Structure 1
């Protein structure tokens, strides 16, 4: 049985070669010799076969983890108001791009008018109380008035000054100019502006909505500095270090593989999941990543170079794995020899060859075998 697979393989090459070019010579094999096969160059070309040799390749020891695409805390902003009001203007939608300082929403509330009126009144009182304080201080210094009158004037002035400074700061937090209020320009509305540049990721309001300080009105995200947030199991964390390479995929959005590097390793374990957060910097931030995307990742903990062959070059038989090596080349024919190989580490596309001395300086058939083997498993007809 162990020779039958190889015999079928040889017959298939002959059959396919004859179909593709009826003038080509059939494959020849020595009677009873199942370790050698000859292929005409016409058949070689028609089957799109390719010779290659042992190639040095990186074989990695890795840890498989999951995580998400995220951004640093300073690249996110939840917009709220510290004083309640009704939304009167909200020109933005989810996905809208904004610049730092751009108008986001406008709110209205009669209370805003009262605050400005109070500020004006306190400002006027402050001017009088300051003048009175200075007068009482002069009189006290000249021993014309009592200390009681002086201290009373001082107390009233300092108290009013604190009230003035508090209201002034409150106006600034409401994005209302104290100077404009002092000029008599009182407004019933306030504006909220973007604290960062970015994209609107969430809108929780519409015109007429009443919002309080505890309500999040909008959320902004700046994706200029995308990174990975990975969760590593407790049993693997001792092998994870800053600077290690990360290869990751976004299975729901792309078949591509992307590169990143570990930037920070958490120092605490989540009590419920028994995992540690690992922060990775993405090498190509220009990709269309979206915050919150699920990622499947491999953290490369060790990488060694080994001599290898493509998996397509390897023929699995009952007694082991084999390759076809060029034994001799004539004008029109390739004479191939079946050589057993011992496999080591493997990737998705390649396998480490342990007995490299057996294949040293040899040309190996690395392409065109897989199709024939698939045909032998499913039948071959013409």
Structure 2
């Protein structure tokens, strides 16, 4: 019984000690929160007081303000160029549809799509059996007409027979000669040939198919007289003109060349609000029709421009501005920018190129901030 009582006394003492510790911890937490609140209020009061003193004493504001670590750059003064970047496609003025000139069935097709051929090379043959039979018939008639004419000519030279008989024999012979020449021309046209050096784009006929004069058989693209065509936004109407300098890059062959705008479209496409621009393309190796190209058309240049990186330009309700450095103080200077190309902005008002601009840290400074310049 005595032992149970002792255990009870010990448990009560432990419980009282635990409650005491919890009360002490809570008191410390409450005291810490009160001190933080007082410190926050004190800091706010200090900042407000510094601002009030700084407004009354500018020298105090400069001395009391912390320095911001920055780097600086100089504006560039020189030749500024602006380009319009558009995608174009290589085309050929010798993009033609080759058609049959005589009637008949397709007897042989030698050309295949993508095949490069030379001028005069046979692409297909049309059955010429009927024409050949006509030729044989006319040749036999011509043999007889030639014999009759020769005999009639000898008789006429001997003043035997009439003049009309001589003229009729001569006329028949000449008529048959012309008919034979016409038939042989038709026979030659049964062979469909390439009109110039180029590439067969598409084959539109099949073996054994019946074709008529004018039936499209091949789509053919020449290798010369190439040009580039591109669609340019209508906002550049009047800006892009014939003769403008153009830099062309072919990404697939990693080749660049300079040329000029050779023609400007006269209408606006209502579907995409663009107009056509044609660029002259000299004969260069490895450039093929339908190849993709990137065009840089120069639409503006200034030989004496002041230029700065575009990312340094900030904006507020009054307009664009940058920060300059003057006697270790950052100065807010309003500017007027012109055109921007490749992250480089042309400044047309506000800078003359002699200023020192805040570069790294330009978002951390303000007007009349102390700055510490580092390399």
Give the structure-1-normalised TM-score.
Answer: 0.60
2:222 corresponds to which residue? 222
In 2 relative to 1, CA 162–296 (structure 1 residues): closer, same or farther, beyond 3 Å? same
In 2 relative to 1, CA 61–204 (structure 1 residues): closer, same or farther, beyond 3 Å? closer
2:198 corresponds to which residue? 198
Shift of 1:166: 0.9
Measure the CA separation in 1 of the matches of 2:302 and 2:195.
Answer: 48
2:57 corresponds to which residue? none
In 2 relative to 1, CA 371–173 (structure 1 residues): closer, same or farther, beyond 3 Å? farther
2:337 corresponds to which residue? 344
Shift of 1:272: 9.3
Identify the structure with the greater helix proportion: 2
1:97 corresponds to which residue? 116
> Unpaired runs of 5+ in structure 2?
1-60, 366-375
Alignment of 1:204-353 (within 5 A): 204-229=204-229, 241-246=241-246, 260-265=259-264, 278-282=277-281, 290-291=289-290, 300=298, 302-305=300-303, 306-325=305-324, 327=326, 335=328, 337-348=330-341, 349-353=343-347
Measure the CA separation in 1 of the matches of 2:223 and 2:134.
Answer: 42
**How far does the alpha carbon of each residue in 1:257-294 deviate from its partner, in whole angstroms, 9 at most, with x for none?**
9865222457x76999999865321479668665397x
The question of 1:174 aligning with 2:190 is answered yes
Shift of 1:86: 3.4
The answer to whether the Cα contact below 8 Å between 1:259 and 1:284 also exists between their aligned partners in 2 is no
Measure the CA separation in 2 of the matches of 1:360 and 1:130.
Answer: 96
Measure the CA separation in 2 of the matches of 1:362 and 1:234.
Answer: 38
- The secondary structure found in structure 2 opposite 1:150 is helix
Measure the CA separation in 2 of the matches of 1:222 and 1:83.
Answer: 24
Range moving further from structure 2, 270-279 or 113-122: 270-279
- The secondary structure found in structure 2 opposite 1:227 is strand
Matched pairs, number: 301
1:38 corresponds to which residue? 69
Measure the CA separation in 2 of the matches of 1:371 and 1:214.
Answer: 72
Aligned residues: CA RMSD: 4.6
> Unpaired runs of 5+ in structure 1?
1-28, 45-49, 176-191, 329-334, 374-382
Alignment of 1:119-130 (within 5 A): 119-130=135-146
The question of 1:149 aligning with 2:172 is answered no
**How far does the alpha carbon of each residue in 1:8-39 deviate from its partner, in whole angstroms, 9 at most, with x for none?**
xxxxxxxxxxxxxxxxxxxxx955769x7433
**How far does the alpha carbon of each residue in 1:349-374 deviate from its partner, in whole angstroms, 9 at most, with x for none?**
22222346x553344355x569989x
Measure the CA separation in 2 of the matches of 1:352 and 1:299.
Answer: 18
Give the structure-2-normalised TM-score.
Answer: 0.61
In 2 relative to 1, CA 118–283 (structure 1 residues): closer, same or farther, beyond 3 Å? closer
**How far does the alpha carbon of each residue in 1:24-61 deviate from its partner, in whole angstroms, 9 at most, with x for none?**
xxxxx955769x7433xxxx6xxxxx734323243559
2:76 corresponds to which residue? 54
Shift of 1:82: 1.3
In 2 relative to 1, CA 151–343 (structure 1 residues): closer, same or farther, beyond 3 Å? same
In 2 relative to 1, CA 338–84 (structure 1 residues): closer, same or farther, beyond 3 Å? farther
The question of 1:364 aligning with 2:362 is answered no
Measure the CA separation in 2 of the matches of 1:172 and 1:77.
Answer: 21
Shift of 1:146: 0.8
The answer to whether the Cα contact below 8 Å between 2:241 and 2:264 also exists between their aligned partners in 1 is yes
The answer to whether the Cα contact below 8 Å between 1:59 and 1:347 also exists between their aligned partners in 2 is no
Measure the CA separation in 1 of the matches of 2:279 and 2:129.
Answer: 49
Q: 2:89 aligns with which of 69, 73, 76?
A: 69
In 2 relative to 1, CA 88–248 (structure 1 residues): closer, same or farther, beyond 3 Å? same
In 2 relative to 1, CA 32–249 (structure 1 residues): closer, same or farther, beyond 3 Å? farther
Measure the CA separation in 2 of the matches of 1:363 and 1:275.
Answer: 42
Measure the CA separation in 1 of the matches of 2:263 and 2:313.
Answer: 41
Shift of 1:204: 1.9
The answer to whether the Cα contact below 8 Å between 1:313 and 1:369 also exists between their aligned partners in 2 is no
In 2 relative to 1, CA 94–300 (structure 1 residues): closer, same or farther, beyond 3 Å? same
Measure the CA separation in 1 of the matches of 2:109 and 2:335.
Answer: 68
